[in-house]
A = this chain, B = another copy of it.
Amino acid sequence: MPPDSLITKKLRSNIKASCSSCGLRELCLPVGLDEQEVRALDHLINQRHKIRRGEHLHRAGLDFHSLHVVRTGFFKTYVLQEDGREQVTGFHMPGEVLGLDAISADTHTCNAVALEDSEVCELPFAKLEGIGRTIPSLMHHFHKIMSREIVRERGMLLLGGMKAGERLVAFLLNLSHRFARRGYSPLDFNLRMTREEIGSYLGLKLETISRAFSRLQEDGLINVNNKRIRLNDIDHLRRQYGSSSCE
């Protein structure tokens, strides 16, 4: 892990953000708001920050002040267990909000690290609650976002009864769906994370992930070339393995 200790204090390249002109409007907080309301949101957003690959956005235990929305790039969240093992808790792409877990105790409960050069918009949480009071639709939408996060986490529970291959397919379908919503190909994409990180997230060992990939390729369902994945028969994948393709 590179020495990037004080990133949270010394964030570089701070750009004034603007929701009004942001390409993520339809995926992000502003969904369903009218012009005037989006302008109010512009005042809320402090600034954008660039986070380079390998740098942390926040670490478990630090004070919580702001939520962050991924604008570009890709993040991993994880916690360190007592025994030192790293448990991955999620992967996050543009439009998704980071830090919702920290509201509960005003302290971050997980670490967030960029898996590629990324940009985030900072949302001071106190300010969000303030503006929310005057824009009910914004507050309501924020509640939906928090609720969606609860549903997302719950989705992981559903993997409980599945076998390794099924879990991996559910994971791939989930990624596929999220890429599609962002305008990328749902059939052909690059994994940003290692086999070990996938395994940690799914509760499997890296070797098991590797074998499951090989097996799916043998069966002709996908093509794997290192991090590059191609889904050859997405309908078959959907039918055969659960429906965890939802967001």
Contact = CB atoms under 8 A, between A and B. Distances in A.
Interface in A117-156: 129, 132-133, 136, 139-140, 143-144, 146-151, 153-154, 156
Given A139-B129, A146-B143, A151 B85 contact: no
Copy tally for this chain in the complex stands at 2
Interface stretch (A25-33, A101-109, A214-222): A101-109
A144 to B, nearest CB: 5
B148 A104 contact: yes
Contacts of A148: 104
| Interface class of chain A by DSSP | helix
A23 interface: no
Contacts of A144: 103-105
Interface in A144-188: 144, 146-151, 153-154, 156-161
Contact of A81 (B101, B150, B200, B242): B242
A89 interface: yes
A202 B161 CA distance: 9
Contacts of A104: 144, 147-148, 150-151
A20 interface: no
A203 interface: yes
Interface magnitude class on chain A? 35 or more
A161 B85 contact: yes
A105 B100 CA distance: 18
A159 B87 CA distance: 10
A148 to B, nearest CB: 4
B160 A79 contact: no
B161 A203 contact: yes
Nearest to A99: B147
A235 interface: no
B158 A81 contact: yes
A176 B82 CA distance: 21
A226 interface: no
A143 B150 CA distance: 12
Interface string A236-247: 000000110000
Nearest to A132: B139
Given A104-B150, A147-B146, A148-B104, A89 B157 contact: yes
